[in-house]
Structure 1
Amino acid sequence: MRVLIVDDHPIIVAGCSAMLAGEGDIEVFNARDAETGLVAFQSHKPDVTVVDIAMPGPSGLELTRRILDCDPAARIVVFSMNDDPIFAARAIEAGAKGYVTKNDDPYLLLKAVREVAEGGVFLMPKIANQLAFEKSGGAVSPLSALTGRELEILRMLGAGLGMAEIAEATQVSYKTIANSCSIMKRKLGARTPMELMKIALEQKLA
């Protein structure tokens, strides 16, 4: 099996690579951001691609969309620090087949990679239960009203990027980003881009 890991944290990449390669039947490749990740995907044609959400430039959600544009049959697992179930929901909506958080047992990633490689879907029980709870009318994340693209923009605002920089990174127009920010302000009750940035930091998006 060929697995590509796209993550900008060298220690995480090294640890995950060692764990997966130690299985004996897994060949591991890695990349550090969305741009090099897409190139690596096209070059190595992995059976499973593991992507982080929060990376410099375009996020793992955006990379997921770009990979699936190249190969609709691609199998992707999102591996993130964020355990808010809304991110798992947006990852699955973007086309990912699995979602694993970095603060859980690392062998869950191995389990997810194997299940997704076999054509399955993997969500940690805790995340799956939280998603079911929200759908049944339980407590709702303040981010639940945002689309995947809006979450991406909010994360970048939290990282200190301006709208022109976000437009360049996401390959859409400045006007589209500005319109998205206006919509997010209404959804989140924010009055200014600075308040959006504050929300991003409070929700630990950046």
Structure 2
Amino acid sequence: MTKVLIVDDHPVILRGVRRIMEDAGVGTVHEATDIVAGYRLFHRLRPDIVVADLTFRTGALSGLSLIRQIRALARETRILAFSMHDDPVIVSRALESGATGYVLKDVPAAQFHEAFEAVRAGRSYLPHALATRVAMLGLGARRSPLADLTARELQVLSLLGRGQSYQAIADALAVSYRTVIGASAILRHKLGVRTLAELIHVAVSQDENGFGR
């Protein structure tokens, strides 16, 4: 009997996904509304499938960290990233972190069901349009400025765009203050800016384009 864990901090999303799971004949559905609770439940219950959002109030793109932690603990677990992000860089990072499939939150219920069933069967899932955009990342044309950033660097950049201080970012990502300073320096180098103010301007611009939402 399939066990599923849903990790999302939006009650409406949780209810909707639970209903789809029940319609799909899933025997047991567990829910968590933050990263810490999600990991603890996973560690205790070891569900077959995890449906995880990528963005939580406590930290931009922190769902990537959850995916990596689950993958490191149990490689056989199938993970469906369920997100509003359609940026191919974010999609690519989710897959690199260990997601089995990726589906957008604005798709019809039937498409989400298709994605879930593919992941439940052990197959990867990525909508054709997103797969094409991810494949285009390596071709150089219209290359995203985010393409060379790691998952951690994306998290730091997004939180900078939200006006978070270095210490607040360190607390949100559970890393040291020095780690955030180092990541900021690397971001300035990769994005071709010289000052923190310029870096924050880039971060805000990306956030306005939907990167940090």
Amino acid at match of 2:105: K
Match of 1:40 in 2: 41
Distance 2:139 2:27 in 1: 39
1:199 pairs, out of 187, 205, 212, with: 205
TM-score, with normalisation over the residues of structure 2? Answer: 0.88
Match of 2:105 in 1: 102
Contact 1:157 1:200 in 2 (8 A): no
Distance 2:42 2:133 in 1: 32
User: 1:156-198 deviations in whole A, cap 9, x for unaligned?
Assistant: 2233332212222322221111111111122223432532441
Identity %: 36
User: 1:67-101 deviations in whole A, cap 9, x for unaligned?
Assistant: 12322322111111111111110001111111111
Contact 2:137 2:147 in 1 (8 A): no
Amino acid at match of 2:101: G
List 4+ stretches of structure 1 deviating above 6 A: none
Distance 1:116 1:34 in 2: 21
1:174 pairs, out of 177, 188, 195, with: 177
Match of 1:13 in 2: 14
SS of the aligned residue for 1:11 comes to helix
Instruction: Report the CA distance between 1:105 and its aligned residue.
Output: 2.2
* Deviates further, 35-44 or 182-191: 182-191
Contact 2:161 2:201 in 1 (8 A): no
Distance 1:18 1:165 in 2: 36
Instruction: Report the CA distance between 1:140 and its aligned residue.
Output: 1.7
Instruction: Report the CA distance between 1:201 and its aligned residue.
Output: 1.8
Aligned pairs for 1:68-83 (under 5 A) are 68-83=71-86
Contact 1:185 1:196 in 2 (8 A): no
Instruction: Report the CA distance between 1:66 and its aligned residue.
Output: 1.6
SS of the aligned residue for 2:80 comes to strand
Instruction: Give the root-mean-square deviation of aligned CA atoms.
Output: 1.8
Amino acid at match of 2:64: L
Distance 1:41 1:76 in 2: 12
Q: Is residue 69 of structure 2 the alignment partner of residue 66 of structure 1?
A: yes
* Deviates further, 106-115 or 9-18: 106-115
- Say how many residue pairs are matched: 206
Match of 2:93 in 1: 90
Instruction: Report the CA distance between 1:16 and its aligned residue.
Output: 1.2
User: 1:42-74 deviations in whole A, cap 9, x for unaligned?
Assistant: 222111101111102241101111212322322
* Deviates further, 15-24 or 188-197: 188-197
1:145 pairs, out of 126, 145, 148, with: 148
Distance 1:182 1:106 in 2: 42
Amino acid at match of 2:4: V
Match of 2:166 in 1: 163
Distance 2:49 2:184 in 1: 33
* Deviates further, 144-153 or 182-191: 182-191
Instruction: Report the CA distance between 1:131 and its aligned residue.
Output: 1.5
Match of 2:119 in 1: 116
* Deviates further, 24-33 or 5-14: 24-33
Distance 2:149 2:209 in 1: 13
TM-score, with normalisation over the residues of structure 1? Answer: 0.91
* Deviates further, 186-195 or 80-89: 186-195
